[in-house]
Amino acid sequence: MEGDNSSEGASCGLTPEVLQQQKAVLPWFKAPKSAGENEKLRDWWTHITYVKMVVVVDHVRYVKSGRSKSRVLKDVMQVINAGDILCKQLSIRLFVIGLEIWTEKNFINITNSIAPVLNAFNAWRKSNLLPRMYHDVAHLFAYQWFGSSLGLAYIGTVCDKHWAAAVISFTDKKVSVITITFVHELGHNLGMVHDKPDCNCRRKKCIMYENNVDTDSFSDCSYKQYFELVVNGAPCLRQPPAPGSFITGMSEYCGNKIVESGEQCDCGSAASCRRDPCCRTNCTFTAGSDCASGRCCKNCKVLPAGTLCRASTGSCDLPEYCNGTSPQCPLDVYLQDGTPCNDGVYCYQGKCSSHNEKCQRLFGKYAKVAPLDCFKAVNTQGDRFGNCGIRDNIYFEKCSTKNVLCGRIQCENVVIIPFLQNHVTLVQTPVRGKNCWGLDYHVGIPRADVGAVEDGTPCGKQISNSLLLYLLQCLPSPHVFYVFFNSVREMFMNLFCHSLTPKEKKLHFQSPLVLCLYLIHICDTQTGKEQVLQ
């Protein structure tokens, strides 16, 4: 099949003989399945998992791509992004945390026999790649025909530093063919074997069918096999990648609806630009236009200074106004953390949070915070109904006595049952004649945890009036810093702000960010430089 650009009749390299060889050596086929672990992790079935992978591209593919690293990156990310879409049906997200391109030579011998290539790549991966770049799995994308084989992977080896590898034939075949091959081999890494005749999906054939097919669905058998992998191990899949640690594959270009360097605006496609009176298809303003987007842009003109562009969201937030020169609303600022905002409550990150406010937001105006006994009884359990966080993204932590008010919210006097989204459960716990109401949370689902006590909430007068919740712990209140900040603010207002009205003083100096900018302004004016803050 070498030199043939067709994929008809091509198949996965995992033949029955190769499968038997893998069964003899791979831990996945030998490890006992723990019933206890199953019980702990069985509710992870519908939760998001994260595959952090490294892609290695061979030298021939680099040469065939005109020795352009940018083109290689684009081609690889096109396959990965398409694969990510296919994997979403299993709640799997794919992240490329590393891309290595062999620009000078291949570091292993790549022939048309795929099994030896996989063995050689895995040996190189363990000795060379893994010490440099930790990963859940690594795939070699090679410009090589392997007879009738399109790819080969070790089964159930994701997270296994000894075996987490696969090889993909990355030739001039259609992107759709390469994508299905990539997802198929990744499926093997995730514990899936080839579909048998009684395996079904919404298509005639499914992704794990042994021969290459045009499909977009995993079978019921693949779902079951992947579930078995998740509940019996593969802990790395439950850890999301660190922000900024993965490759997005995004490149700057006019037409992506993102204003980038060298562009005045970006209206997207030609059809979108025809509906945009402010921006042309070449990412420049239309005649007479000064802006095309932003809260301070209206009818292609920048709004006058003083126009409200972001209203205050509460007693701890400040409004923002257009400055008359920029189409963008200024940075969102709020009152200094520790500013008193209610009886015994202090501002934190722009919010005035309390247990009572949280209960009323969840269960209606008649609800109120439950007695301390409720928090002690529930949050010291260390399960999804009562906890102070999660360890390793799997195991719930019990709250200490000091931190019981920092775990799951507990309310009483509940007369309204809220509308709940999927995977959120309303829990009623009887404690000493009281009904304690709360919400559980399934870690791993892409939704905010509405049942957790929020950072900045006072830990309660029952324990200490000077402690606030932060990262599920009772810590000293920033109110002490607020007192110091307030005295510094008053000093600078008296020294430098005689011309400001009381309202202007409040708007200018309620935020530490604004105070810092004003200090910069003072230094600049004293050295004769232009004022940076009016």
Return binding residues: 184, 188, 194
Known binding positions for Zn(2+) = 184, 188, 194
Both structure tokens of 340 = 């008193």
Regarding whether 168 and 34 lie in a shared domain, the answer is: yes
CA dihedral over 280, 283, 284, 289, signed as positive or negative: positive
Residue type at position 355 = H
Can you list the alpha helix ranges (DSSP code H) found in 32-129? 35-41, 59-64, 69-87, 114-124
d(C-alpha 432, C-alpha 412), whole Å: 13
Question: Would you state the pLDDT for residue 444?
Answer: 59
Residues 159 and 304 in one domain: no
- For residue 347, give the H/E element and its range: strand 345-348
- What's residue 532's pLDDT? 33
pLDDT for the residue numbered 518: 39
- 386 and 411 together in one domain: yes
pLDDT of residue 144: 94
Residue with tokens 């304690």: 436
Same domain? 125 vs 190? yes
Domain assignment of residue 5, yes or no? no
d(CA 472, CA 397): 10
Where among 220, 238, 256 does a domain terminate?
A: 238
pLDDT at 110: 96
Q: What is the CA radius of gyration of the chain?
A: 29
Is 484 found in the same domain as 469? no
User: Chain centroid to CA 495: how far?
Assistant: 46
Q: Confirm whether pTM is higher than 0.95.
A: no
Do 233 and 90 belong to one domain? yes
Residues designated as active site: 185
| Helix ranges restricted to H, 402-499 | 479-496
pLDDT number for residue 527: 34
- Structure confidence at residue 163 (pLDDT): 95
* pLDDT for res 470: 66
* Closest to 413 (Cα-Cα) out of 480, 368, 479: 368
Of the residues 281, 304, 332, the one at which a domain ends: 332
Regions in the chain scoring below 50 on pLDDT: 1-6, 35-38, 41, 462-464, 479-481, 483-484, 487, 491, 495-534
Of 486, 500, 455, 514, the C-alpha closest to 331 is 514
How many domains does the structure of the chain reveal?
Answer: 4
CATH of the domain at 277: 4.10.70.10
DSSP 422: T
**CA-CA distance, 147 to 166, in Å (whole number)?**
17
Note whether residue 218 is domain-resident: yes
Are residue 327 and residue 372 in the same domain, yes or no?
A: no
What is the pLDDT at residue 445? 61
Q: What is the DSSP string of 106-174?
A: -SS---S-HHHHHHHHHHHIIIIIHHHS--SEEEEEES--BTTEEEEE-TT-TT-TTT-EEEEE-SSS-
pLDDT of residue 247: 82
Domain that holds residue 268: 264-332
Q: Judging by DSSP bridges, how do beta strands 434-439 and 426-431 pair with one another? A: antiparallel
Paired sense of beta strands 297-298 and 301-302, if any: antiparallel
